[in-house]
Each structure stands twice: as C-alpha cells, then as structure tokens.
Amino acid sequence: MPPALLCFPATLEQAQVGAISATELAATFYAEIKGIRPASDHPFMEQIELALGEACTNCARHRSGSEVGEIRVDMRLQGDSLLINIADRNDPFNPDSVPLPEFAVAENGYGLFLIRNCVDELSYQRLDDWNILTLIKQIPTND
Amino acid sequence: MTIETNFYNQIAVIKLAGRFDASVTDNFKATVEQLLKTDRYQFVVDLRQVNYIDSSGLGSMVAAVRKVREQDGDIILAEPSDKLRSLFALTRMARLFEIYDDQDVALNACSKSSLTS
C-alpha cells in the first residue's frame, strides 16, 4: 500500500475531524499487515486515535498568527510499524524541552505526555518552515 | 459531544455523550459556570456514553473542579469506561476526583458530600 496523505485546515474542529480520518487510515495500514481491520476498541486503535488527536490539536492550538494554516498527516508502513508524520507551519518547537505536566493540577500540557505514552517512538524535525512530528507505532504481531 | 443536565434535589447531573475533545471543552466549562451561577454546587458528571477523551477534555475537568471547589462544591465522576479510567490513572486524575462505577452510588456520595459541606 503506498504512503497516504491527508490535509486539513488547522482549526480545533477540523483537527478532530482530520484525526478521526487519519485513525481510519491507520486501520487500513494495520489491515495490510494483519489481514483484518482492528476493532475501534483495539488498544492499537485507541492509542493511535489519541496520539493523532493530541498531535493535530497541538497543531491547531499553537497556530502562529491569525491565519488558519494547514495540517498535513502522512503515513506509511515501515516494516511492521506504522510511521506517521504530522506537519504544520507554526513556529518551531522542541518536544524534548516540554516538561511533564503537573498531574491533576495543570489544566493543560498533557498532550505530548499522552502522545509519548501511545507510541513507540517520537521525533521532531524542522524542514522548509514545516514542523514535522514523526510517530512510530509497531503493529502488534501476536494478537 | 452532547451535554444534558438533569437535577436530583440539589445535585446537577451532567450527562456527556460522544467525544470529549478539544473542540467541545468550552461547552463543558460554560455548562458548569452557568450552573454555578444558579447556585448549583454539587455535580455528578455521567461519563457512561463518552467514548473518547483527550488532554483538553481532562484539562477542562481540572478547571471545572477547581472553580466548583472554590465555592465549596464538588464534582464526582460516574461510570467511566475502562479506557477513560486508564487515562485518569495515567494522568493522576483519579487522585483529584471521586470516581464511581454506578451513578446511584455517585449520587449518594454527592448527597453526603453536600450535607457535610
């Protein structure tokens, strides 16, 4: 299956719609490996849904300027893993410098913590004015 | 997400259904603030039909309970799914809220809480 790309406006509402669509796309890649689509309550799906939702919400929430930009999500298989890039043209950031949230006290700041908990690898690069957050999630082989 | 409010004596039961995500947190916060203005201070949030919650949803519950407790009230959570419960555990929300698997038990706990506050 070739790599797939989704593009949508960087509003909070569209970020949710985009994340839901991207989660469905992830199920298709899962089926490519496993031969069957995962149920919506499969841990793989729940974790991908949350990771994509948080990542896309961050793109919409940290918009630079008043103009609504674009969020791009592309995904592909890499061996037995799903590789997902979530890209926006907001100001650069460094995910490694984001502190852990103050649990049960803070009203925000949980997003990146939750993403890290949902995926196997997370990395960031800045390329041609784009922030690219790369998530890698292994497709489970033993279920 | 849909938000429906019912009243049991002085307790407001806020029933949420659907996705509790970043696009709807303002609605939830506004609902709680509006109820506070009408002198409702004891809340049960019915999570039975919430199939997804993200960090914004969690954060809005932290914001809401802070406001409610400033006025000596409380928010109790009822019937979250296993998925929500594991997120509450991961983010330590379980320390902040009383959580019950049965809404009637949650209502009883809320009644006792209102009598002692």
Chain-chain contact of B23 with A104 (C-beta, under 8 angstroms): no
Cross-chain CB nearest to B56 (options A49, A57, A103)? A57
Chain-chain contact of B52 with A114 (C-beta, under 8 angstroms): no
DSSP state of B92: T
Cα–Cα distance for residue pair B43/B108, rounded to 1 Å: 12
3-state secondary structure chain A: CCCEEEEEECCHHHHHHHHHHHHHHHHHHHHHHHCCCCCCCCHHHHHHHHHHHHHHHHHHHCCCCCCCCEEEEEEEEECCEEEEEEEECCCCCCHHHCCCCCCCCCCCCCHHHHHHHHCCEEEEEEECCEEEEEEEEECCCCC
Phi, then psi, of B81 in degrees rounded to 5 = -70, 170
* Contact B98/A at CB under 8 A: no
How far does the CA of residue A56 sit from the closest CA of chain B (Å)?
Answer: 10
What is the residue-level pLDDT of chain A in tens, covering all 143 positions? 899 999 999 999 999 999 999 999 999 999 999 999 999 999 999 999 999 999 999 999 998 777 889 999 999 999 999 999 999 999 999 999 999 999 989 999 999 999 999 999 999 999 999 999 999 999 998 77
The answer, yes or no, to whether ipTM is higher than 0.85 is yes
Q: What is the pLDDT of residues B65-88, one digit of tens each?
A: 999 999 999 999 999 999 999 999
Interface-testing mutation among A50, A107, A113, with chain B (most B C-beta atoms within 10 A):
A107
Q: What per-residue confidence (pLDDT) applies to B116?
A: 65
Beta bridge partners of A135: A84, A122
Q: Which of A114, A57, A107 is nearest to B60 (CA)?
A: A107
Q: What is the pLDDT of residues A23-40, one digit of tens each?
A: 999 999 999 999 999 999
Q: What is the pLDDT of residues B21-74, one digit of tens each?
A: 999 999 999 999 999 999 999 999 999 999 999 999 999 999 999 999 999 999
Q: Number of CB pairs < 8 Å for A and B?
A: 66
Cα–Cα distance for residue pair B43/A74, rounded to 1 Å: 42
Chain-chain contact of A57 with B92 (C-beta, under 8 angstroms): no
